[in-house]
Amino acid sequence: MRIDLAGRTALVTGSTQGIGLAIARGLASAGARVGVNGRSHESVARAVEDLARDVPGVDVVPVVADLATDEGFAAAVDTLPDVDVLVNNLGIFGSRPALEITDEEWRRYFEVNVLAAVRLIRHHLPRMAARGWGRVLDIASDSAVVIPAEMIHYGTSKTALLAVSRGFAKEAAGTGVTVNSVIAGPTHTGGVEDFVYELVDRDLPWDEAQREFMVKHRPQSLLQRLIEPEEIANLVAYLASPLASATTGGAVRVDGGYVDSILP
């Protein structure tokens, strides 16, 4: 099975590190021209350098924009007005006791994790439909289905993203555009390492800290380890390709068996 995205342009939001950078690398390796997005010129430049080193001959478009703002959205669509593949990966997370989450924090999580994706879908979906081909992929989380007690604001925003994906898939019905969400499980990124150390002893070596975190806080995982970003990227590359033409309106899991359900 060969994934070929030659001639396609993709935008991956929040792609200067972690899962987003791995997705950008995966799409570039499949031949796509890739828009790399971050809020600062420095972070985007570093990501572009990483991709140029890892994928010789890659065609990268720097997209410096804070997509949680109207100004950032305008800058992004000005830089890349038309894309064939839109990957809404941008997201923030963090732990907070439920009763201490402020109105301001709730609004911030929905602006970044939900509305940034909605704005881009609203812009790009009609253009994809007019061309008769396109892929919209929203990167959700196991937390959308199994709401974590320590970060219900994050989990709730990802639940909303599942609904956004399903709803826009209906809007795209019959157009040749597919819209799906990807339920990513606990994944090994720098940000997650910080999160793990918020919940376990900071003096533990990483391998021990990871094991303790999985046993105490994510015992449902059948993988029994954190997922590597490249494992998320592999599924995204497939869903972005012509091979996934009959998959739409779905919440596709790459969660290491974390969600204890036959369906999401």
Burial of 206 (0-12, 13-18, 19+ CB in 10 A): exposed
Rounded Cα–Cα distance for residues 219 and 186 (Å) = 11
Q: Which of 154, 197, 238, 258 is catalytic?
A: 154
Three-state DSSP at 252 gives strand
Give the list of residues 6+ apart from residue 247 with CB closer than 8 angstroms, or none. Answer: 178, 180, 239
Answer whether 92's CB lies under 8 Å from 17's CB.
Answer: no
Catalytic residue list contains 238: no
Q: Hey, CA dihedral for 39, 40, 43, 48, is it positive or negative?
A: positive
Rounded CA-CA distance 29/237 in Å is: 9
Hey, how many other C-beta atoms are within 10 angstroms of the C-beta on 219?
A: 9
> Please, where are the H alpha helices in 143-189?
152-171
87 close to 22: Cβ distance less than 8 angstroms: no
Q: Is 34 helix (H, G, I), strand (E, B) or coil?
A: strand
Query: Which residues are known catalytic residues?
Result: 154
